[in-house]
A and B are shown apart, each in its own frame.
Chain A
Amino acid sequence: MGDGFDNWTVQLRKGILEFCVLSSIAVEEEAYGYELVKKLVNAPGLDASEGSIYPLLSRMRKQGLIQSRLEESEAGPARKYYRLTNAGKARSLAMQSYYDGLTDAVSSIGNPTK
């Protein structure tokens, strides 16, 4: 498809990753960090890497959208859990609403009968 398309998909994925992180945590009350990362990495089409998710998680925590806690584990290292802060919940809802509007708009442009 060419460089232009690749660039466009990268930008789209990059833009949507934060929304995906927030949505994944919002689904569960509290998300185990490793599983959260694996879920996002393994999501088909999202094409996210751990190398992009971990810095994103750090940034979002710094912004106060998510918070984390460590819990001693019976087996293995301490487990890290993430949950949304109130600001994160608000951001997640706002993103969901905007995303729904956007997809509706895109769909209606491609199919005027809708």
Chain B
Amino acid sequence: MNNEDPTWLTDEARIALDAWEQQHRGSWMKEFIDPKEVRADVEAHLWHARGESEEPVTVDQVNEAIQEMGFAAPVEPYPLVETKKKSRIGSFLDELITHPFFWGVWPLIVVLVEMATGLLAGMFFDPISRTPQAVLLLSFCVLGTLGLLKKLNEQRPAWLSILRGAGLVVAGYWSLLLLPVLVIGFLGYGLCIVYTIGIGLLAIPLFLICMATAAAPLYLFYGFLRSTNLERHRGPWLIGMLLGLGLLLIVEGPSYVTRYAVAKEDPGLIRKLGSEETLLSMCYEGRVGKKSFTDTTGFIPSLGSREMFWVGESVDLEEIVKRRELYYRTTGKAFNAHDDGGAFPGWLPGEKWFRGVTLDEDLGGDGVAGRVADLDLSASRLDAHIDAASRLGYWEWTMEFGNSGQRNKEARMQLLLPADGVVSRLTLWVNDEPQEAAFSSTAKVTKAYKSIAVQERRDPVLVRWVGADRVLVQCFPVLPNKDMRIRIGITAPLDAEGRFFLPRIIEKNFGVPEDLESSLWIQGDTEMSLDGLQGKGAKGKWRETHGKLPARELMARHTHVKCDLPEEPAMVWAEDPFAGNTLVRTRLPLRSSEAKDDLVIVIDGSSYFSKWTETADEAIAELREAGHGVRVIVAAQEEIFEDPSTLTAIDFAGGQDCISALEAGLNLATSTGSRHLVWLHGAQPVTFSTEEGFLQLLERGFHQVDFSVVDLDGGPNRLLEKVSKRIGIAGAARPVELEELIPELKGILESNRERYEWKRQEGAPEGGKKVSDQLARWHAWKQVKKASIGSPDRDKLAKLAAKYQLVTPVSGAVVLETKEDYKRFGLKQVDVDTTPSVPGIPEPSTALLVLIGSLMVWRRARI
């Protein structure tokens, strides 16, 4: 029995008490007296005065008690309102609905389920997209669960009122957000029953769970509301509400600011007050073809729109491109550089069932674009052969892609080749059989790929040159729960210090598991080493090093094999299997420039540059001391700084558009008579303004300026890709390390790079060293690359590149599924006998057998 159900009071007595309390509560509250306590005093008095009597307390006894206890007398007459007694079921429901289970445990379970499955995220929007949101919601669910609201109800210390006020605001916010979802849930539920009894019945449990999820914060809100004592502790309660608002501001504020800043295209505001996490997720909104999978702050603007009800075309690609560009301007990084970008929120293995259909709007496109869910690199193997005499090496990178999703996926990546390297082989495994590629003009192979992959949805793989030692690789389809295996062969030179760089993935639309290791095997006729590889072997003149390295680490830095090279022969030659003659390369003596050329350095002052400031200051000072005139243009803070006294004083943040700075640099070089224009740059994964003005100045300027680049960061660079297709660029396409900057700049000024003379002849030349036919491929690559810039006869060049099986500015490689496919697109698959490979090292036993055999023949001949 309790005071909610006092059978020891007559209904009249209870009403009399209620009325008396109503009449005087105002005056009591003015004196900070809790009406509930006064009521309790009177009831206690009545209860004890009644003693063992079976008779319920009457109105007269109530009046007497009030008088005896010295409280203000009731004002007659009492409003005798007949109150309806609650039925047993009604009381039970009331108890049930107001039980702390519904205020705490249920919302807690629902929040955890949502975080695990992403059910609402897949259907409407993600209510818990960020960790602070989860912490905030879970905290208040836990407080509710602990029964603070109920058990401490009677004590009501001030801090509890503060907590309740805060809980009310927090739970109220999520309740309001999820209210429309409840409405949609009911509509969907109705539609399921009315229209699609069959499939609809399957959807009903989903809708029910969804509605339960949406209703949970509503209960949490109700719980806080019910337990909040509005009369007492008004001050603390208001403080609590302000605290709740403050917590919401901390948790949600940066996201709202980000959305506002995106609308205003203000990267500075995002850096100051916004959330990079929200901006990143905004780069993927709409990727599912619907305005779903947004977050709390993105859902509000869509309220009332057609997108909210999944009606109509809502993917605004222009808007998505704008956001991706803004992400770079804000952070200085590519949006797709993040492994968790566009990730679905659920962490249960089966969460993919709730995410709905995910569309890849970039399938068969011309860029890597955003991350695709469930697509991962599942295996990686690198084999290499180094030929010391020709200073050439050959990489074979075998990769496998796995798809744990439900639909076919396209794997896309941009590979940064070793400087001056060229793709010379492409293989795709079809039904476990390796199939070699067809090499032809870029247009032809691209058309074949798009037709087979995008329209017919069958097996092709395509490699295209995109500029500045970068190639775009696309393969489709990576089937659900199956692996797709490809191999890319790369012919590349060693640099002057005997370093043979590994190819590197600089942009990708797939994930790389943290524990994935890449196996490496590097062999050659020279001593060699690679940091992290322990395995070593020697066999005659051959050396090898092997081992495993984390795949992510290989992608994060530009790694190289260090070779201890013998002196380079003056002449090397190779039989050219494609031309049917002999190619001879003669080394020319180094020609150092004595002239003290002036140069203009244009600095891409994106965020990455902050670690370069001191080194760059030192390099500039050193060049000036050496007698070179050095002028500096810096693109930073979306402005141009000319000849700053020190680079350390500039704030390098976000990603910069360098075109204006390059134009300014070129004008400065022309006006000062500088011979060189050097662009120190990082990644620039988006295209800003057009490069035509810069190229026009460079192509038509009366004063010749040599344009060089030094990559300080590594990563996709759209501007560099475009410019390199139009003009010859000197410098390091590979990213340089801090200590390499000064030598690199000096190298550009002194033009002391290796030079060769090439000639063709029948038969072997006198002297010289015979090397592998990689020499012929690399020579053809140099020819095509040089001629492709401004050449009117690109078809002829494409034929030459295809003949040597090379991916160049004018040619690409594609593997199709069937012979008919090749025929249909006028392509010819290369003969496997003509493809390059990493040769096997002969076993000692084999060599010994040959020696013994030769000796026996020699002895028999003597006998």
Residue numbers of A with Cβ under 8 A of B are 33-34, 37-38, 49-55, 58, 62, 68-80
Q: Let me know if A50 and B70 touch, CB within 8 A.
A: yes
- Residues on B with C-beta less than 8 A from A79 are 40, 44
Q: Does B31 contact A (CB under 8 A)?
A: yes
Cβ distance A13 to chain B, nearest Cβ, rounded Å: 15
Decide yes or no: A77 and B70 within 8 Å by CB, A62-B32, A69-B154 being known contacts: no
Q: Does B43 contact A (CB under 8 A)?
A: yes
- Residues on A with C-beta less than 8 A from B45 are 34, 37, 50
Cβ distance B765 to chain A, nearest Cβ, rounded Å: 105
When the two chains form the complex, which single residue of B32, B36, B67 contacts A70, counting CB atoms closer than 8 Å?
B36
Some 14 contacts from A to B, beta carbons below 8 A apart, are A34-B45, A49-B68, A49-B70, A51-B70, A52-B70, A54-B69, A54-B71, A68-B37, A69-B154, A75-B1, A76-B44, A77-B2, A77-B6, A78-B40
- CB-CB nearest 9 A-B residue pairs: A51-B70, A77-B43, A70-B154, A76-B47, A77-B3, A34-B44, A50-B69, A80-B40, A54-B69
Q: Let me know if B32 and A78 touch, CB within 8 A.
A: no
- Residues on B with C-beta less than 8 A from A37 are 45
Other A-B contacts than A54-B69, A78-B154, 13 sampled, CB-CB below 8 A, are A34-B44, A37-B45, A49-B70, A50-B70, A62-B31, A70-B40, A74-B1, A77-B40, A77-B43, A77-B44, A78-B3, A78-B40, A79-B40
A53-B1 Cα distance, complex, nearest whole Å: 28
- Most chain A CB within 10 A, of B6, B40, B71, is at B40
Q: Does B33 contact A (CB under 8 A)?
A: yes
Cβ distance B802 to chain A, nearest Cβ, rounded Å: 89
Q: Does B155 contact A (CB under 8 A)?
A: yes
Q: Let me know if A78 and B69 touch, CB within 8 A.
A: no
Q: Let me know if A76 and B41 touch, CB within 8 A.
A: no
B21-39, CB under 8 A of A: which get 1 and which 0?
0000000000111001100
A80-B40 Cα distance, complex, nearest whole Å: 7
A73-B37 Cα distance, complex, nearest whole Å: 14
Q: Does B394 contact A (CB under 8 A)?
A: no
A50-B48 Cα distance, complex, nearest whole Å: 14
Cβ distance A80 to chain B, nearest Cβ, rounded Å: 5
Q: Does B222 contact A (CB under 8 A)?
A: no
B264-301, CB under 8 A of A: which get 1 and which 0?
00000000000000000000000000000000000000
Q: Let me know if A72 and B41 touch, CB within 8 A.
A: no
Q: Let me know if A78 and B70 touch, CB within 8 A.
A: no
Q: Does B8 contact A (CB under 8 A)?
A: yes
CB within 8 Å of A: which of B566-586? none
Q: Let me know if A76 and B31 touch, CB within 8 A.
A: no
A37-B48 Cα distance, complex, nearest whole Å: 12
When the two chains form the complex, which single residue of A54, A62, A73, A75 contacts B41, counting CB atoms closer than 8 Å?
A54
Q: Let me know if A80 and B44 touch, CB within 8 A.
A: yes
A64-B47 Cα distance, complex, nearest whole Å: 28
Decide yes or no: A55 and B154 within 8 Å by CB, A34-B44, A77-B40 being known contacts: no
Nearest-neighbor residue (CB-CB) of B47 within chain A: A76
A68-B1 Cα distance, complex, nearest whole Å: 22
Nearest-neighbor residue (CB-CB) of B48 within chain A: A34
When the two chains form the complex, which single residue of B8, B33, B41 contacts A80, counting CB atoms closer than 8 Å?
B41
When the two chains form the complex, which single residue of A55, A71, A76 contacts B8, counting CB atoms closer than 8 Å?
A76
A33-B44 Cα distance, complex, nearest whole Å: 8
Cβ distance A1 to chain B, nearest Cβ, rounded Å: 27
A100-B515 Cα distance, complex, nearest whole Å: 81
When the two chains form the complex, which single residue of A33, A38, A51, A73 contacts B2, counting CB atoms closer than 8 Å?
A73
Q: Let me know if A72 and B37 touch, CB within 8 A.
A: no
- Residues on A with C-beta less than 8 A from B71 are 54
